[in-house]
A = this chain, B = another copy of it.
Amino acid sequence: MNSAAFKHRPESEDAYLVDADHLQIRFHAAKDDLQSVELIYGDPYWTIPNASGETTFAYSHVPMVKISTGETHDHWEVTIGGPYRREQYLFAVMDQDGNREVFGDRGLRADTEENRLTMTNYFRIPYFHVIDMVQTPEWVKDTVWYQIFPERFANGDRSNDPAGTKPWRPEDHPGREDFYGGDLQGVLNHLDDLQELGVNGLYFCPVFTASSNHKYDTIDYLAIDPAFGDKALFAHLVTEAHRRGMKVMLDAVFNHMGYESMQWQDVLRNGAQSRFADWFHIHEFPLTPFRDPIKGEGEPQFDTFGFEPHMPKLNTANPEVQAYLLEVATYWIREFDIDAWRLDVANEVDHHFWKQFYTAVTAVKPDFYVLGEVWHSSQSWLNGDEFSGVMNYAYTQLVMDHFLTGEQSAGQMLARLADQLMLYRDQTNQVMLNMLDSHDTARILTLAGDNFDLALQTLAFVFVQTGAPCIYYGTEMGMDGANDPDDRRPMDWSQLGGLQWQRVAALIHMRRSHARILGRGATHFELTATGLIRVRRGSSHGIEAYFNTTKTAVKVDATALLEQGFTASELQPNGFVIAEY
């Protein structure tokens, strides 16, 4: 028995309330090590007289189910109730040779009745506190997101174009400093198109006043960039989106401020005397010229995003900064009714601040969605009091590493995806943002070598996963593009309603019309004997999907809800079929 490989962390994603009355328990053991795991459990105060008249703990037991296998571990799971809202539990394990042990809060012990009756051997959920339960917004589980880079989506108002605005040519390779005149009126003009496409969540890259075309260098968090429009227009846009059943997410850059912001300019002018000097992490004056340590110029005078002197890092431990940013955060909810914040470089801001942030925004709107930009594993932000979910790069990268680059086999991908799902509670996985590309990456079509079938197959795989899928503007128009700034070309509206558009729309329609299962159901992966990837969502019935990532056609028996390359029960390479079971 490989007992060193046993893993279980109490009061974490391994033991949590799925609803007010039920506890989900996970246990991880080395792959193929155990033939069975039983959960031994009961109310810690439930003691009854035994045969000898002594009072002892009365436990129940239930088999755990091996729900998936990761790279190195089998994942076992079970859900139990708790009639008196308290549970203690331990794991009775049996290896392939029939050896038995119990594994609990004090480690491994022999599976004897005495050890099962020793209270200190048990892990605990001392009380089912609903107030501590991780709750995520239900509406996100029904959402297909659409990411808009406002400067490149559509130019609806030529009067606010920046000086030197270039002509709208989708085939351009934009430079870092180029402007194309995209704006909020452009989005408003195309809301009906987006509704027809089927998306019901709009995720806007920053819209606040800033110098650059990407607006990640905020000057004023309380103003719409004049090149994008004004507050009246934004208010109207939110109303019109809501009228169409679409939610609105804005992008907040709270890690750092823009160089041109009033606050940073004040510090540059007044140095240590500036009333904003403590708003940043300043180690030494004067602040200029900035010393870049990578260039061997010495120690930087202040902390920045990366080593970018024009993006000074905010001191979010300063109560004044906290108050200011929380006012920003709630202002756009209170006054404009936005539904979600996407938080830029969220991992580099302190947890203390994000807890205040979450409390503040959910006080205004209880089902508000908070999405953090974190590229690595994110357990410490996803315990119900900071973020609802994160941008799920860690998940979708695994998908691309198989479908697009072939860097890993289908089996490796499925194992690693199974491991990723074990990092978070089910209700968290359901509101992760699953995007294959964004303003920060090359476009999916380029990554697919301009093979639209392959891009759509990959997208379809993401659409049957746990987690809310997100489409980057232009994917439906068959747009390609390398890493930024090439991934930020002006939208190619000539393709609206075209063949590729129709296929993306059909995929979105499929996801949304089965959101109950695809947004909330259990997930089972399998590599079929014929080499297909099978994804099953739901339990006794639900959705199943097959993906052919091999080089030859493979037989499948299915009645397609949606398919690509599937005829006469044969699934072609780069094909998929989605069906009910």
Which residues from chain A sit less than 8 Å from chain B, CB to CB?
Answer: 2-5, 7, 9-12, 30-31, 33, 45-48, 71-73, 83-86, 105-108, 120, 122-124, 126-127, 129-132, 293-294, 299-300, 303, 306-307, 317, 347-353, 375-377, 379-380, 393-394, 397, 416, 419
Residues in chain B near residue A348, CB distance under 8 A: 86, 126-127
CB–CB B131/A317 < 8 A: yes
Residues in chain B near residue A375, CB distance under 8 A: 120
Residue of B46, B73, B351 near A129 (CB, 8 A) is: B351
Residue of B3, B12, B83 near A380 (CB, 8 A) is: B12
Residues in chain B near residue A30, CB distance under 8 A: 4-5
Q: A11-B380, A84-B303 are in contact. List 12 more A-B contacts (CB 8 A).
A: A2-B4, A2-B5, A10-B376, A10-B380, A48-B294, A83-B293, A83-B299, A84-B293, A106-B394, A124-B376, A127-B350, A129-B317
Residues in chain B near residue A300, CB distance under 8 A: 84
Chain B residue with the shortest CB-CB distance to A58:
B294
A37 to chain B minimum Cβ distance, whole angstroms, is 15
A405 to chain B minimum Cβ distance, whole angstroms, is 13
A377 to B317, CA, bound (A): 30
A307 to chain B minimum Cβ distance, whole angstroms, is 6
Chain B residue with the shortest CB-CB distance to A123:
B376
Given contacts A397-B120, A416-B107, contact A3 B72 (CB under 8 A): yes
Given contacts A5-B4, A71-B107, A350-B127, contact A122 B376 (CB under 8 A): yes
Residues in chain B near residue A351, CB distance under 8 A: 129, 132
- List 25 interface pairs A-B (beta carbons < 8 Å), by A numbering: A2-B4, A4-B5, A4-B33, A5-B30, A7-B7, A10-B376, A10-B379, A45-B306, A45-B307, A46-B294, A47-B294, A48-B294, A72-B107, A85-B303, A86-B348, A105-B376, A107-B416, A107-B419, A120-B375, A120-B397, A124-B376, A129-B317, A129-B351, A131-B352, A132-B352
A353 to B132, CA, bound (A): 9
CB–CB B131/A350 < 8 A: yes
A363 to chain B minimum Cβ distance, whole angstroms, is 12
Residues in chain B near residue A306, CB distance under 8 A: 45
What are the 6 closest A-B residue pairs judged by CB atoms, nearest first?
Answer: A4-B5, A129-B350, A4-B30, A4-B72, A11-B380, A126-B347
Residues in chain B near residue A11, CB distance under 8 A: 379-380
A122 to B347, CA, bound (A): 14
Chain B residue with the shortest CB-CB distance to A397:
B120
